[in-house]
Amino acid sequence: GQEKLSCNPRKENGSHVVLCELGNPMKAGARITVDMELSVSGLEDMGDAITFQLQLRSKNSPSSTNASVTVTVPVEVQAEMELRGNSLPATMVLPASWRRVEGSRRLEDHGIKVEHVYQLHNKGPSTVSGVTLHLAVPSQLGGRVLLYLLELGTEGGMSCTNPPGLNAEQV
């Protein structure tokens, strides 16, 4: 028959420790299997593995029967990231005769305003950190201004680095 173990969590030297009493006395030839379920969090910055230190202590003869083993468990963060984009308006047409007015601070002299909205969604199940989104915007075509970058904004706790030339003419 299987016996219930008595296990108690505690802190020793700043580490979380679980002490299990395996039996007193533990008979010769006895074999004990311990299954322990752990709830873990904050593994995003742990790298690709987490290491557990297991130590067996005996009160009979501490110097000869103490055994220690290290168990390394691979960590795999799984997160499905989804990027969506939309342009408002979806289509724009400029007359063939239209020309950009150099040095003007009026928006209409720089063309039709187009707003691009990008949404990055972490569908889980894991949390991710250190995510970088790199957007390459074609600002020139054939040496002429194609898209004039007016402003860059974010929501949801993101920070952005403004690209060189962002609203250079202070429109």
**Residue 20 pLDDT > 80, yes or no?**
yes
Residue-wise pLDDT tens digits, 52-94: 888 887 776 655 556 888 999 898 878 899 999 999 999 888 7
7 or 42, higher pLDDT: 7
Locus of tokens 């690709």: 48
Q: What is the pTM of this model?
A: 0.54
134-150: average pLDDT = 82
* Whole-number pLDDT of residue 62: 56
Domain boundaries, the chain: 6-74, 79-145
116-144: average pLDDT = 85
